[in-house]
Structure 1
């Protein structure tokens, strides 16, 4: 029954799990993900006899927990968010184990199975925001290292200017490639260390500052070597080699930290004595467990729920969304009032990643207003998993731009399809001394939405109530050559929206 329940769980969550494994294989930040399930199994195996001694009956609380996990899966499935689906898998997995071994045994295994959290990738918007912040922090500390060697250096954002060379601390240098595996390793050390809880908590949490400081030191060393031996020191093999050396250094600092705490606890034995490295003398067999139908009723109930979810899944995936007629963006006007546009296009690799239905991108100018800007709209007839709108707040930091201002802006002279003044997100972004104003919002089935989370909620709700998930992202980008005249460029963006919004809604579904 337990294996059947796990099989049904794997079947229901197959898409979310396969996408997670795909991320492990394509993103260096999560390449350690392959090891996480195996290490978790090892930790569970170490606790097998403790579990056996405390095992009584399955816990009925597992049934509502499993139901919550399945509801969470439904939300993720209908709102096109893989991350929600992957966390829903963990909730359901925890519930099945709880139904199998009972509450007391589950508490023993909880630290071991919680380790599985480290295999789930962060949501894209959170990853990009964290990466952007770490780039800035690492750049600032790295410049301090360079200056410690009496080298003149100037820092602007995440660009380190050495005079002859400029080094940009890009996303790959944010330190996340060290942070995620080091945090998982720190958790493992904390799990195995036989010490007070406060020490174990510090061992785990210290992996964050260790990563930031060591990565910053690496950036500083690259700056110093570039100053003395040229730009090739920041490229190719040497760059990658320095990365490996620093990661090993991070592990070394963590081990030294464990030794330090053990030194503080004088009289408690050696470090090896205080690491739980003992292995069970023999492996638990099914004959060692006393299962009866009475003790396994919660597992039977959970198995029934998972089988029903397995039967319902094909019906959920086969739902055909209502497709409404609309005018293609190929007919979107390039000339309107004083605006003249030149249509552009996205690269095939970008289109493969976006998976949109239709789009329009063009550069517009206006001699009357002395303006130039970029207009982009992406339409999705269906926003299912892997083919949903990409928010600019996630994409902009990935391009090296820093968001320095974000607020909601109301354009009173434009009435949205809801019959209210049009609200847009207004952000100011900067990179390498350049600045741009970006207006963006979501047209979601006659709604004017500016909040990304609310947009996802409406996808879920409308999928349930209207059988529709279509929507569009609208973006206007205006270069700002002189930040002192920012009000002028903001007026240009506003005027463009006023002039083109009536044209935009003609190319979206009417109903």
Structure 2
């Protein structure tokens, strides 16, 4: 009995000691629990500072676009929305397991390389892609593939904060202008208002409305598509319903913008030109956007009642996948160290390239361009300010040339000293339909240069409006090259920016009417003769 009593006392004493003094495992667990968040916070802050240092110019450009371009004014909300969406998924990320991955290091390295290329080429679209890849790579490296997959949509949603490449935006805007004009005229005619359309011009009789680029509907399309993507993500139902919801945003924005133009036409007829300007114009735009949002919400409600709804996902991780506390999260890993070192290297490499400016060669101004070219006599013309503001060139030439024996030819040259930040030539292929001209044929021809025995290629378009018929020749002079393809222009632009630090260039366009009694062949001959005279003369004004 005494032996048993002594054993019980020893057990009790051991228990008291265990309660009074934590075990070594307990001490390590507490240290781990408190050190993990601190290390993550410090590493995260350091990474944010390094990204800010490396992408200072990129972020400044994106924010400037948000502030100055109404098409992207919704961009301020995107990072906030993404942060909230990721925070809502924190338990799912922890439940999936935080396992640092070297794949993220690879993605981050590719993003950093793109930044250097983008800065050398002075192309913002490459720098934007680089910033997104670095953010995704950092997430993947720190949290691993499974945890990153849990926030795949928020990370992808970040892309909606970046401006589109200018060429894509120009083509999209031109197409939407025509569609909006057609819808607007259709709405006016539907309610009995006499209206006719020539391209982007709506004729109301005594008043004509010009559907300019700002009225194309992009100001509704971009934010509405971003909003529809968010609604589709939060709308927990069948995939086809979510796809339908997002897809409906595009025709909805175009249709409502057309109705808005029709309403403006009615108000202009009733109250005068002021109804299409100032506060009224701004207010009408906001009304359309609010109506679009309400329709999206109504569509969600309607879709939720159609067919069988998908099972609602749990707001917390599934049973058996309990979210792990920070004590179970790795405090540090070699991949995180490499990521921070890579970010440090990217930031250091980007500093010497920051503010890199294009080389703009010296040139003669178009004010000095000869108005007499081997018997062709020119009359200079002045372009309206609204078109000058839209085209954003650095210098231009607009003149009508004619001889006593030949019909007139209109010469237009738009010169850009730098084409890196959205200032680039608008292709006539997208601009001509806006003036009411229908492009009936478009091909490529060879133009002979009699002065230097040199030939070059040019685009030839035949355009028609009613009975009027014209032939257009145009090409792009990009440094020492003559290019006819818009996409090839962008490719050479990137290469020359990278290797020569130059992005200057020009669009050259010749237009000749097909005169009564004249066939296309005679007009072509007249155009090609004049083009052969103009091209060598341009070298002093558009440097090689």
User: Of 502, 508, 523, which aligns to 1:469?
Assistant: 502
Match of 1:413 in 2: 448
User: Of 47, 55, 70, which aligns to 1:13?
Assistant: 55
Contact 2:112 2:134 in 1 (8 A): yes
Cα distance in 2 for residues equivalent to 1:430 and 1:16: 44
Contact 2:188 2:262 in 1 (8 A): yes
User: Of 349, 364, 371, which aligns to 1:312?
Assistant: 349
Match of 2:536 in 1: 502
Cα distance in 2 for residues equivalent to 1:210 and 1:471: 39
Contact 1:193 1:276 in 2 (8 A): no
User: Of 329, 336, 343, which aligns to 2:373?
Assistant: 336
Contact 1:80 1:384 in 2 (8 A): no
Match of 2:408 in 1: 371
Cα distance in 1 for residues equivalent to 2:157 and 2:503: 37
User: Post-superposition shift, 1:39?
Assistant: 1.0
User: Of 329, 343, 361, which aligns to 1:290?
Assistant: 329
Match of 2:223 in 1: 181
Cα distance in 1 for residues equivalent to 2:282 and 2:486: 36
2:527 is the alignment partner of 1:493: yes
Secondary structure in 2 aligned to 1:378? Answer: strand
Secondary structure in 2 aligned to 1:369? Answer: coil
User: Post-superposition shift, 1:439?
Assistant: 3.5
1:284-315 deviation per Cα after TM superposition (whole angstroms, max 9, x unaligned): 9995562244xx32232222222222222233
Cα distance in 1 for residues equivalent to 2:227 and 2:314: 14
Match of 1:422 in 2: 456
Contact 2:181 2:202 in 1 (8 A): yes
Q: Which runs of 5+ in 1 are unaligned?
A: 278-283
2:281 is the alignment partner of 1:239: yes
Contact 1:77 1:85 in 2 (8 A): yes
Secondary structure in 1 aligned to 2:445? Answer: strand
Contact 1:416 1:422 in 2 (8 A): no
Counterparts of residues 82-161 of structure 1 (less than 5 Å): 82-161=124-203
1:207-266 deviation per Cα after TM superposition (whole angstroms, max 9, x unaligned): 112112222222233334445555544444433332222211111111111111122257
Contact 2:121 2:498 in 1 (8 A): no
Secondary structure in 2 aligned to 1:58? Answer: coil
**Structure index of larger Rg:** 2
User: Of 49, 66, 73, which aligns to 1:31?
Assistant: 73
Cα distance in 1 for residues equivalent to 2:314 and 2:186: 37
Secondary structure in 1 aligned to 2:406? Answer: coil
User: Post-superposition shift, 1:50?
Assistant: 1.4
User: Post-superposition shift, 1:51?
Assistant: 1.2
Q: Which moved more, 1:165-174 or 1:241-250?
A: 165-174
Cα distance in 1 for residues equivalent to 2:67 and 2:281: 21
Q: Which runs of 5+ in 2 are unaligned?
A: 1-42, 317-322
- TM-score relative to the length of structure 2: 0.77
User: Post-superposition shift, 1:346?
Assistant: 8.0
Q: Which moved more, 1:155-164 or 1:51-60?
A: 155-164
2:237 is the alignment partner of 1:195: yes
Contact 2:363 2:541 in 1 (8 A): yes
Cα distance in 1 for residues equivalent to 2:66 and 2:209: 28
Cα distance in 2 for residues equivalent to 1:61 and 1:171: 43
Match of 1:280 in 2: none
Q: Residues 362, 449 of structure 1: CA spacing in aligned structure 2 closer, same or farther, 3 A cutoff? A: same
User: Post-superposition shift, 1:191?
Assistant: 1.6
Give the length in aligned residue pairs. 494
User: Of 476, 482, 496, which aligns to 1:442?
Assistant: 476
2:424 is the alignment partner of 1:390: yes
